[in-house]
């Protein structure tokens, strides 16, 4: 008889002998190697975790917690999420009763995997991160209390290799959208995130308050400390850039992954600063100049050429403070008028051949995911959708793609809308927007930008391998 034809009988779970200490894995939590103590004196298994916080919908509450899998290595933290099974009083070996959360996950010992209940407790000084209690021990298993490491020995080395990223399971994330507005983009981010089993909380930036403290940076909201988020998506309006980025910096100090950083948002919002940074990286842009003194008006105009000029208020958004001056005389009057109002502005040469069209490239995590062409309405030269412009999908050239990616990279933005003009000598960047609207581009191109953003966030919040220290155990 050909043995290969016989179906495999279910592997008898016999032969599994556990010593008093064993290497185990909790694959469902992204913990590929832990040293556990087998403690038949305890009923339920326990995992030492910290920053244990419930989140998510009331009818399906989840926990977010963090584990230092390697004793003594506080620089290595794995963030975990799991559904809450229960909350119970547990008396630990030192006789203390504690109300603990209970989760269900899978225990892997050798090549056997079994579902187990685990309570979570914050006792970081314990030598073993995991205790295996009676309930986890299967009837066919044998305990050999005098022996140790009877099963396959694992190694903490896995946390130092890229494999730790691969071992990370898809987990429910707790994500904050920093936004003051209940607009389409915010709602899209919430719906799309929830469809992927994440919990997305919209936090009104202006209602966050903080104690600035070197040891314990925190953000408070509505009388409570805000929890740990796996990621923050800032959608900070132009009118509150300074306060909004201060809140964001607090999250950065906490080590939370922020899709766009405070430094990049601040620099990209300030038109002068942004143009200087783009120029420093050799990124194409319309000839641009600015001056503070009225004495320099003529020279300023001279710097950007003799043709028609565009004068822009520095705080312009949605094309509101952008004026086309067809002649030098017109430019002088506009500049004088702006100066009279003590307004800050810059002067650019008019890229005529763009003919009332610009290209919005949506860059997510270093790639252009969608591009649309916006065309001005009537004889306006400004193609902003808020000014009645229309949008259509567009194929962009490799040069345009590269320019958009490089422009987003200058400000280190994980999500950016890069606006380009098509000129005779290549793409010219007008603006890099750190809170690009999703509605227009998703409608025009049919691309699910919110989903692509979550793909990027899910990749980013996976654990990173940490550098091995000399003398690390395991």
Considering only 116, 421, 438, 456, the residue that binds ligand ADP (CB under 6 A) is 421
Answer yes or no whether residue 278 interacts with ligand ADP by CB under 6 A: no
Distance between CA 353 and CA 355 in Å, rounded?
5
Q: Which is nearer to ligand ADP, 107 or 310 (CB)?
A: 310
Distance between CA 251 and CA 386 in Å, rounded?
32
Residues whose CB falls within 8 Å of the CB of residue 393, separated by 6 or more in sequence, listed in order: 370, 371, 372, 373, 444, 445, 446
Residue span 378-407 as binding mask against ligand ADP, x where in contact by CB under 6 A, dash where not = ---xxxx-----------------------
Answer yes or no whether residue 310 interacts with ligand ADP by CB under 6 A: yes
* Tokens 């915010």 sit on residue: 186
Q: Which is nearer to ligand ADP, 23 or 381 (CB)?
A: 381
**Beta-sheet pairing, 390-393 with 345-349:** unpaired
Q: Min. distance of Cβ 344 from ligand ADP in angstroms? A: 14
Q: Which is nearer to ligand ADP, 358 or 400 (CB)?
A: 358
Residues whose CB falls within 8 Å of the CB of residue 182, separated by 6 or more in sequence, listed in order: 202
The pair of three-digit structure tokens given for residue 359, joined into one six-digit string: 């290209």
Q: Which is nearer to ligand ADP, 112 or 238 (CB)?
A: 238
Of 117-136, which residues contact ligand ADP (CB under 6 A)? none
Of 286-305, which residues contact ligand ADP (CB under 6 A)? 286
Q: Which is nearer to ligand ADP, 319 or 427 (CB)?
A: 319
Q: Which is nearer to ligand ADP, 110 or 305 (CB)?
A: 305
Of 349-378, which residues contact ligand ADP (CB under 6 A)? 350-351, 354, 358
SS3 26: strand
Of 428-447, which residues contact ligand ADP (CB under 6 A)? 430-431
Please count the residues of this chain forming the interface with ligand ADP, following the rule CB under 6 A.
Answer: 22
DSSP 131-191: EE-GGGS-TT-EE-TT----S----GGGGGSTHHHHHPPP---EEEEE-S---HHHHHHHH
Q: Which stretch binds ligand ADP (CB under 6 A): 33-41, 51-59, 187-195, 343-351?
A: 343-351
**Cβ 441 vs Cβ 363: under 8 Å:** no
Q: Min. distance of Cβ 266 from ligand ADP in angstroms? A: 16
Answer yes or no whether residue 312 interacts with ligand ADP by CB under 6 A: yes
The count of other CB atoms within 10 Å of the CB of residue 53 is 14
Query: Residue 448, exposed/middle/buried by CB under 10 A (0-12, 13-18, 19+)?
Result: middle
End-to-end CA, the chain: 46
Residues binding ligand ADP (CB under 6 A): 286, 310, 312, 316-320, 322, 348, 350-351, 354, 358, 381-384, 419, 421, 430-431
């Amino acid at each position: 008889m050909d043995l290969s034809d016989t179906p495999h009988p279910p592997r008898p779970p016999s032969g599994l002998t556990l010593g008093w200490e064993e290497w185990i894995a909790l694959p469902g939590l992204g913990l590929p190697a832990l040293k556990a103590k087998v403690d038949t004196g305890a009923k339920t298994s326990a995992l030492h975790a910290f920053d244990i916080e419930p989140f998510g919908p009331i009818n399906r509450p989840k926990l977010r917690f963090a584990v230092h899998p390697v004793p003594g290595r506080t620089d290595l933290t794995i963030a975990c999420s799991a559904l809450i099974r229960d909350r119970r009083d547990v008396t630990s070996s030192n006789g203390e009763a504690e109300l603990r959360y209970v989760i269900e996950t899978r225990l892997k010992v050798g090549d056997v995997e079994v579902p187990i209940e685990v309570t979570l407790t914050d006792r970081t000084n314990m030598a073993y991160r995991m205790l295996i209690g009676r309930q986890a021990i299967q009837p066919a298993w044998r305990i050999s209390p005098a022996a140790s490491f009877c099963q396959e020995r694992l190694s903490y080395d896995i946390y130092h290799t890229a494999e730790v990223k691969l071992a990370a399971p898809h987990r429910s994330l707790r994500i904050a959208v920093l936004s003051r507005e209940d607009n389409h983009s915010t709602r899209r981010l919430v719906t799309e995130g929830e469809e992927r089993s994440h919990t997305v909380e919209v936090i009104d930036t202006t209602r966050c308050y903080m104690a600035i403290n070197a040891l314990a940076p925190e953000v408070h909201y509505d009388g409570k400390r805000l929890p740990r988020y796996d990621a923050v998506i800032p959608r900070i309006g132009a009118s509150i850039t300074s306060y909004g980025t201060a809140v964001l910096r607090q999250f950065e100090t906490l080590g939370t992954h922020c899709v766009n950083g405070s430094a990049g948002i601040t620099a990209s919002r300030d038109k002068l600063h942004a143009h200087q940074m783009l120029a420093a990286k050799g990124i194409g842009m319309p000839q641009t100049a600015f001056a503070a003194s009225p004495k320099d008006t003529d020279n300023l105009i001279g710097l950007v050429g003799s043709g028609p000029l565009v004068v822009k208020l520095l705080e312009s958004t949605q094309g509101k403070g952008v004026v086309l001056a067809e002649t030098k005389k017109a430019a002088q009057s506009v500049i004088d008028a702006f100066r009279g109002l003590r307004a800050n502005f810059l002067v650019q040469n008019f890229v005529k051949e763009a003919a009332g069209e610009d290209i919005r490239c949506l860059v997510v995590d270093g790639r252009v995911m969608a591009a649309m062409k916006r065309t001005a309405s009537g004889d306006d030269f400004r193609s902003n959708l808020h000014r009645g412009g229309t949008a259509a999908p567009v194929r962009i050239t490799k040069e345009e793609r590269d320019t958009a990616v490089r422009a987003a990279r200058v400000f280190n933005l994980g999500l950016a809308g890069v606006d380009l003009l098509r000129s005779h000598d290549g793409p010219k960047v007008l603006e890099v927007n750190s809170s690009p609207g999703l509605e227009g581009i998703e409608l025009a191109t049919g691309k699910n930008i919110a989903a692509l953003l979550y793909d990027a966030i899910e990749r980013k919040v996976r654990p990173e391998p940490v550098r091995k220290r000399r003398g690390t155990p395991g």
